[in-house]
Amino acid sequence: MATPMVRRSSNQSNKSSTAGKSNLLPVKTRRFAVWAVEFSLLVISGLVPFGIGVYANSKSDMNRTPLHPILVLTERAIAYPLALPVSYGTRNVAWVTNFAWSLAILAPLGLSGWQLYLLATTGSTTPKRWFGVRVVNEQGMPPGFLAVAQRDLVGTWTIPISVTYILWQNSFAFPNLGVFTFIAALVWLADGVGFGQSKPRRAWHDRLAGTYTIDATIPFTLSQIDNQGQWSDEEEEAAIASLVITPESEEEKSPNNSFLQYIQKHPNLSLIGAAVGSIILVLGTLISTQVYIQTQQNRRANQQRNNQQFISLLQKLLQQLNPQSKASKAEKQSAILALGSLNHPEANNFLVDLLVKEANNPNLTPVIEQSLVNLGIKIIPDLKRVNQFLASQIESGANTSASAKRLQQESLKLNIQAIKRILTVHSGNTYNTDLSRVKLITSKNAKGLVLDKVDIWGVNFKYANLSQGSFKGSRFRGPGKDGRWDTYDDWITDLSGAQMQQTDLSDANLSRGLMVRTNLSRATLNRANLLNARMVYANLSSSQLVGADLRGAVLENASLTGADLGDAKLDKADLYGARLGRAIAIGAQLPYANLTNTDWQAADLSGANLHRANLQNANLSAASLKGAILSHTNLENARLRNANLSLADLRGANLTGADFQGVIFSSGQLHSTDKFVETPTVGTQSAVVQGVDFSQVKNLDPRQRAYICTQGALHPKCP
């Protein structure tokens, strides 16, 4: 590369420039500071609107709408490479949150675009201008858009991030994001210092784009082109003289013509090379074409042979199934097994239909079922087709005779049995299996599907009927292809809209499961793992959730009326607008939970932990909160009429606008006069209200006011 020719300034100007430069930090230090500021501004531009969206989403007075599809796609695009868990299903957020999170995506992009524009046209971004740093090309001019794209988009971001990701993904620490950040910092540092270069060093992204990062506070000189080289005055003069005195040769002026010059100097070798290359190209084309033709011929031959075998076996089986046939039971069974071993699409369809046709033949149905089980998960679509047909026939069979109905019921039972056996035998290999809208129960009074301790992760059960089934200890979520939990590719079963009334899911793993609008009324979910499950609008009325793990679960607008949540873990769960009337939540853990607009009328929350929970606008009328932990809980505008707060800890709670009409603070009896109140030991029989502000509480009667004053609470009328 030819070094650009520049005129040296006078000694006086050099001295003044050096003096001005000595008052500043070194260029290397300023370059690092510039990078830190640019990166910080980029992060802040995204985090600020994201934080605003999170805060707005926590406010109860915001109208809630589904998360914007673009945000859902962005979330998945980020989660996939970083191996983060993805939130699937419906998610309702405040309308401000949709706007703020969209801004969190657009703001960093807009800021980056503007700074790159300034860099291409002026050589300095805003932080570079602050620190007196400039990027120039070989002529000392702004680099331009192409060079900036090579320098920043490719050299600074794409290559370092790609190298980091490859090293991280193939390391033992994957998917630890802390290690990813550490590796990225090392790669960026190596790029910035020009690791592996011989002196003079220059950042790799500058070398890639042919740019130079220089001190913008002094006039541009030759020594600034590569300040790490620390040229002396004599070396600079020699470089300039060599450019001025020594003319460039024709080869140096046109380096790109070296290949053509070689061909001109060596025509014979060039001709031989071209001939050999042409022969190799022609032979390669012929061989690859022949291989392709032979492959297609073999495929067609195999297909024709399978078709002939299918026709032959089918004709033989139909003859044997003829009522007048004298074929033995063993011969029929052998023909069925042979047909199933063909793995032919039409043979598979025939076997599925044959299971229905021979529903009353106990000699053949077990063999047919075994053939279907051997075919595995791939036969599920055909079984689903027949299942839906039989279910629709049974539901709409007004003109069907009693015998026909019994046959349909038996056929459906056999179909369900075949699906059950396939899911059991092929446990753990069910990912992407589509069983949506299937009916897996024959009648209302019949027993449902029994799949205890089976791995049925990744199955699509949307709108399926799984009522009265048993899935005790089964796993509806798997680690995915990477073998790691809580990553982007986890196999998660979709139960949205499914009918699961009275289903037993005790000890089942439903973590991060999708149960949007799922009907789980009177279901048993004791000790079930529902960590981060999405159960928006789910019906859990009268369900058993004793000891269930619902931490981080989303139960917005869900119905839990009469449900038993004893000792359940609901830390940081979102129950916005949920209905929990007459629910039993004795000892439930609800710290930091979002309980805004929830209905707890006549519920039992004795001993529940509601530390820092948000109960804004909640209805707790006639609820039992005896011994509950309500410290720092938000009870703003909550209805607590006739609630029992004896032994409850209210220290630090926000009671602004809360309705305390008829609230019981102590299990002891109040004296008949307003002026005399029994004073039980604080925390043993009465609510802990010392230091709690009751000044803005509604409907506090004189007896209650006198009582809280004796317990150290704050109220304008306390003596």
User: What 3-state class would DSSP assign to 465?
Assistant: strand
Q: pLDDT at position 259, please?
A: 59
Q: Please answer whether residues 339 and 351 qualify as being in contact, where contact means their C-beta atoms are separated by less than 8 angstroms.
A: yes
Q: pLDDT at position 571, please?
A: 95
Q: pLDDT at position 47, please?
A: 92
Instruction: Give the tens place of pLDDT for each residue, 174-187.
Output: 878 888 888 888 88
Asked if pLDDT for residue 315 goes beyond 80, the answer is yes
Asked if pLDDT for residue 67 goes beyond 70, the answer is yes
Kindly indicate the confidence band of residue 553, based on its pLDDT and cuts at 50, 70 and 90.
very high
Strand ranges (E), 482-632: 491-492
Rounded percentage of the chain residues whose pLDDT exceeds 90 = 46
Asked if pLDDT for residue 600 goes beyond 90, the answer is yes
Instruction: Give the tens place of pLDDT for each residue, 511-535.
Output: 999 999 999 999 999 999 999 999 9
Q: Looking at the DSSP assignment, which residues form a beta bridge with residue 477?
A: 492
Rounded percentage of the chain residues whose pLDDT exceeds 70 = 86
Rounded distance, CA 351 to CA 365, Å? 10
Least confident of 16-25, 273-282, 507-516: 16-25
Kindly indicate the confidence band of residue 675, based on its pLDDT and cuts at 50, 70 and 90.
very low
Kindly indicate the confidence band of residue 16, based on its pLDDT and cuts at 50, 70 and 90.
very low
- For the chain, the average pLDDT equals 84
Q: pLDDT at position 637, please?
A: 95
* Count of C-beta atoms within a 10 Å radius of residue 496: 25
Least confident of 15-29, 371-385, 460-474, 532-546: 15-29
Asked if pLDDT for residue 464 goes beyond 50, the answer is yes
Rounded distance, CA 322 to CA 335, Å? 14
153 phi and psi, to 5 degrees? -70, -40
Rounded distance, CA 152 to CA 221, Å? 24
Q: pLDDT at position 174, please?
A: 80
Asked if pLDDT for residue 15 goes beyond 60, the answer is no
* Count of C-beta atoms within a 10 Å radius of residue 365: 20
Q: How far is CA 372 from CA 95, 187, 310, 338, 360, in A?
A: 50, 54, 16, 12, 18
Closest by alpha carbon to 94, among 140, 126, 58, 132? 58
Q: Is the pLDDT higher at 619 or at 80?
A: 619
Reported as half-sphere exposure (CB side, CA atoms, 13 A), residue 423 has a value of 31
Kindly indicate the confidence band of residue 221, based on its pLDDT and cuts at 50, 70 and 90.
low
Q: Which two tokens stand for residue 18?
A: 């050096």
Least confident of 152-156, 157-161, 233-237, 555-559: 233-237
Asked if pLDDT for residue 629 goes beyond 90, the answer is yes
Q: Is the pLDDT higher at 251 or at 705?
A: 705
Average pLDDT on 9-20 reads 42
Q: Which two tokens stand for residue 520?
A: 């789980």
Kindly indicate the confidence band of residue 9, based on its pLDDT and cuts at 50, 70 and 90.
very low
Q: pLDDT at position 238, please?
A: 47
Instruction: Give the tens place of pLDDT for each residue, 186-200.
Output: 888 888 887 777 666
Q: Is the pLDDT higher at 267 or at 503?
A: 503
Kindly indicate the confidence band of residue 377, based on its pLDDT and cuts at 50, 70 and 90.
very high
Kindly indicate the confidence band of residue 679, based on its pLDDT and cuts at 50, 70 and 90.
very low
Q: Please answer whether residues 469 and 504 qualify as being in contact, where contact means their C-beta atoms are separated by less than 8 angstroms.
A: yes
Kindly indicate the confidence band of residue 557, based on its pLDDT and cuts at 50, 70 and 90.
very high
Domains and CATH numbers, the chain: 24-234 (no CATH), 284-426 (no CATH), 545-719 (2.160.20.80)
Q: Looking at the DSSP assignment, which residues form a beta bridge with residue 659?
A: 639, 698
Q: Is the pLDDT higher at 647 or at 25?
A: 647
217 CB burial (10 A radius; 0-12, 13-18, 19+) = middle
Alpha helices in 342-451 (DSSP H): 345-357, 365-375, 380-395, 402-425
Q: pLDDT at position 433, please?
A: 94
The pTM (predicted TM-score) of the whole model is 0.73
Average pLDDT on 330-350 reads 86
Q: pLDDT at position 235, please?
A: 44
Asked if pLDDT for residue 667 goes beyond 70, the answer is yes
Q: Is the pLDDT higher at 630 or at 253?
A: 630
Q: pLDDT at position 138, please?
A: 84
Average pLDDT on 556-584 reads 96
Kindly indicate the confidence band of residue 551, based on its pLDDT and cuts at 50, 70 and 90.
very high
Rounded distance, CA 218 to CA 216, Å? 6
Range from 366-375, 598-607, 696-705 that averages highest in pLDDT: 598-607
Kindly indicate the confidence band of residue 578, based on its pLDDT and cuts at 50, 70 and 90.
very high
Kindly indicate the confidence band of residue 508, based on its pLDDT and cuts at 50, 70 and 90.
very high
Q: pLDDT at position 270, please?
A: 74
Average pLDDT on 20-33 reads 69
Kindly indicate the confidence band of residue 220, based on its pLDDT and cuts at 50, 70 and 90.
low
Q: pLDDT at position 251, please?
A: 43
Instruction: Give the tens place of pLDDT for each residue, 385-422.
Output: 999 999 998 888 766 778 888 888 899 999 999 999 99
Kindly indicate the confidence band of residue 247, based on its pLDDT and cuts at 50, 70 and 90.
very low
Q: Please answer whether residues 363 and 341 qualify as being in contact, where contact means their C-beta atoms are separated by less than 8 angstroms.
A: no
Q: pLDDT at position 24, please?
A: 59
The CA dihedral of 87, 91, 97, 101, to the nearest 10 degrees, is: 30
Range from 320-329, 395-404, 699-708 that averages highest in pLDDT: 699-708
Instruction: Give the tens place of pLDDT for each residue, 419-460.
Output: 999 999 999 999 999 999 999 998 877 888 999 999 999 999
Asked if pLDDT for residue 92 goes beyond 80, the answer is no
Closest by alpha carbon to 368, among 434, 437, 407, 321? 321
